[in-house]
Structure 1
Amino acid sequence: MADSPGTTDVHAMVVQAHGGPDFLTAQDVRLKAPGPGEVQVRLAVAGINFVDIYMRHGLKPVPLPYTPGLDGTGVVEAVGPGVSNVRPGDHVAYAQQIGAYADATLVPADSLIPLPDEVSFEQGAAFPLQGMTAHYLIHEFRKPSIGDVVLVHAAAGGVDCSWCSGPATSAPAPSEPCPPRRRRRRSAKRAPTTSSSTPSGTSPKRPCATHRDLRRGRRPCRTISPNVLMERSLSLSGGDLWHFMRTHEEMLHRADAVMEGIENGWLTPRIFRVLPMADVAEAHRLLEDRKTIGKILLATGD
């Protein structure tokens, strides 16, 4: 085990007050040495997600000031006492840990995903949150059978482009949602499973699913009467990735399944653009203005 370094300064983007993209400001922040169960990661790439915008606006409360970013990839620099699953020099990814818009960050060791050589830092930052979300949706909510069609609403998002890599997916979106080789023509057949990240797309007048997964989208959810669902024999469910990776083993199970698809070539994380950290405000504008297709990333390393 390498000796833990002392407290050091790192370059980071910080939100001091709630507001627009210009409220993301560059600062040097103090990073303490990793404590028990912690790992210091020198970040290479950070993922940008719509929840980052919720946090910036104050819609998802986070104590101020804070450094945004819930997923990233990089190299282990140092480990704290009791850490045995990674060591300095390892390439890792993680999700659901705030602080990725920075040169380096501290991450719980049990949240780290080892990256194989075949998976780049960019791919590693694009798949954890989106890929593992798609994984639990099709394995825990309603596992599609052979011949099933999955209708994906708002398919321009990172999660939904992961859905689109499946073998039988219909994916309407305002613009080109996925690589041409992954697109599927919209089927006239009623889709037994529907995924939506735009809650306003849920309409009782056009029931096309016996099961609907409802994830947080870009607008608040509309109220849906249970009676409307009962009358049409429909079901609706919602989920959060947090609840489907409660243990290190469960997280690695989902991550390994997604990386297997990447390594075997049938799953390609859709990366819209990689921008330098100095352009983080522009990255947020692109996402908030619905101008991205797939995942947008920040290059946080040198």
Structure 2
Amino acid sequence: MAEVKQAAQALDAALALLAAGEVVAIPTETVYGLAGDATSGQAVARIFEAKGRPRFNPLIAHVASMAMAEKIAVFDPLSARLAENFWPGPLTLVLPLREAFGIHPLVTAGLDTIALRMPRGFASGLIDRLGRPLAAPSANRSGRISATTAAAVAEDLGDRIRLVVDGGPTPVGVESTILKVEKGKLRLLRPGGVTADEIEKAVGMGVERYGDAAIEAPGMMASHYAPGASVRLDVAEVHPGEALLAFGPRRAAGSNDAAAVKNLSERGDLREAAANLFSYLKELDRSGAATIAVEPIPFDGLGEAINDRLRRAAAPRRHDMNRD
């Protein structure tokens, strides 16, 4: 089983494993990431193996500085402005790839672009010490609920990796927003920890949604972030035996008969709801209920990211991702 070490004591152990081509679960401000050297084919292959992740699904490369980022990707003026406003932080930019830096092709899934993010905290210091970018998708088995605590990582991946760095619960609670600048326009590929409103206010232009686009960034698969139970959205009534993921002060009809209830935010606060989303889904999944009913959640602000994750959690999935 993986060793779990507190972040304050884990830097040297994490560096040694990464330098040897191993993978390490690390905290970021969004969710926990399964990190490996983005320039090492051995390390990136181990990420895909540990997660059981399809290799056509690209990874985000994480950097510690703009100097490192500019060696990997080409920044147009608008992308540079976005980085200046939101890095370090929960924004990922999809940019043209510079071939000379040595990002392994598995990271980009054969695309001529790369998804880049600059995280805060332990992850930033680790990348800086390593001197190379880290590929780091969420630290969970592919398609399952993302981990926001070290305990959740250890439960899901503890038999597949050697080290989990414990930095406490992640403050944002959902993955980064993924944005692409294309022909002078902003395309939102995945809503996340930075809202579209915040982006529009920072750069003075609108953000277009991607629609039914081909996979060109992480988190765009139809079925993703899924618990073992099925998920039923926007419920007005809870069926007998269902677990309930609630939001706000008012309950759906039948909530008193729910198998279990977790309220994302009794105050109706979307930032609190985002921070609680994945951990509460995990808790309700453990209740043994066959279905998790979800009360309606507003789409404004972080609600867009929350609803995106819930829609993907509720999407039809392969048989092997259902509860036995």
Q: Normalized against structure 2, the TM-score is what? A: 0.25
Higher strand proportion (structure 1 or 2): 1
Higher helix proportion (structure 1 or 2): 2
Q: Normalized against structure 1, the TM-score is what? A: 0.26
